[in-house]
Amino acid sequence: MIRALALVAALATAGCLMPRYLAQAGHGHFDLLRRAVPLEDAIADPDLPLAVRELLAEVPGIKQWAGEAGLSVTDNYDRYVDLDRDYAVYFVGAAPRLSLRPRRWCFPIVGCFTGLGWFDEDDAIRHREQLEADGWDAMARPAGAYSTGGWFPDPLLSTMLPDGDPRTADEETGFGDLANVVIHESVHATVLVPDQMFFNEGIAEYVGDALADQLLVERFGETSREVVAYREDLARRRARTDRMAEAYRALEALYASDRPDAEKLARKAEIIDALVADLGLRRRPNNATLVEVRLYTASYDGFAEVHRACGSLGAMIAAGKRLTRGDFQQKLQEDLAPVLVRMKALCAKN
């Protein structure tokens, strides 16, 4: 499930962003609110596929589980939006052609981000094309999930259901996938440090995976096909992201070398060619793509260590809630090792 933290409502307070972006952001967000219906009405709607209604009926239980683990879910996902598209927003990001330092978009109050969410695909493609024309490696990809980061109650979207297509919910992984995305987005409403997307997405990715696993075990049993299928899917995703992380490290070393730019570009193409071949990718990645993979997964093992040190996901979440901007050395900090040490210390005090 592809995700994005789209702080559209918060950005409306920024005051100085290109008018077209602010206009589409505000319109897109409030269009979702306008189209949302109470969850119980959606569950009872005979026009919705049975598989969708069955998944929607699971949401209150998932919310209760997440709340007991310390996540803020009270007003989220009480309403449902059946979108007429297969994405919530299109996420646009960029990085220099010979660097893995992401382009930043910064706003008053809400902080800095490594990408922007567009509600219209054509707007996102135009933005990506403009970035490319300006000399950036750029990407635009669909994001199925959407969160205002706690600024407003978030509705559940049809694109948040398994595979992004509510008509093809998988019997074995559908519940686990839904639990994962609801928990992931609930983390954003609970633990959100301004200017720190690497931390915000990293902890949401880990907690979503781990807490959904715990829920599946309690619901179906350790050896159930649901748990086995969920863990196999996680293992496949980890193998894929590990290979992309390997390419990231190779490019990072290349860009730091004293080779001429022409040689760097040639070697960059070779590294990405190998990545495309190994993973059978249909879309060729670039620096912006690999930065986003790092955004979600670079500190995954580090968060696992924090989990073990804290003893429970609830204690880990509580430690994350106590972090502030002052616990980070710089905006959009990629090296989270000092922050993870701080979280372990906070757990040790309790």
Q: Report residue 330 as tokens.
A: 């710089």
- Beta strand 79-81 pairing with 156-157: parallel
Confidence of residue 6 (pLDDT cuts 50, 70, 90): very low
Q: Do 30 and 75 contact (CB within 8 A), yes or no?
A: no
Q: Do 145 and 185 contact (CB within 8 A), yes or no?
A: yes
Q: How does DSSP classify residue 154?
A: P
The pLDDT mean for the chain works out to: 88
Task: Give the orientation angle of helix 300-310 with respect to helix 337-349, to 10 degrees.
Answer: 10
For the segment 302-346, what is each residue's pLDDT rounded down to a tens digit? Answer: 999 999 999 999 999 999 999 999 999 998 899 999 999 999 999
Q: How far is CA 289 from CA 93, 110, 191, 324, in A?
A: 8, 24, 25, 28
Confidence of residue 252 (pLDDT cuts 50, 70, 90): very high
pLDDT at 2 over 80: no
At 112 the pLDDT is 80
Least confident stretch, 118-122, 153-157, 263-267, 316-320: 153-157
Residue 171, SS3 per DSSP: coil
Q: How far is CA 324 from CA 157, 189, 195, 327, in A?
A: 30, 15, 10, 6
Beta bridge partners of 80: 37, 156
For the segment 184-226, what is each residue's pLDDT rounded down to a tens digit? Answer: 989 998 999 988 999 999 999 999 999 999 999 999 999 999 8
Compute the average pLDDT of residues 239-262.
Answer: 97
Residue 292: other Cβ atoms inside 10 A: 24
Q: Report residue 287 as tokens.
A: 């620096």
Beta bridge partners of 111: 107
Higher-pLDDT residue of 148, 237: 237
At 9 the pLDDT is 38
For the four alpha carbons of 337, 340, 345 and 346, in that order, the dihedral sign comes to positive
- Give 277-310 as a DSSP string: HHHT-SS---HHHHHHHHHHHTTHHHHHHHHHHH
Q: Do 7 and 149 contact (CB within 8 A), yes or no?
A: yes
Residue 211, SS3 per DSSP: helix
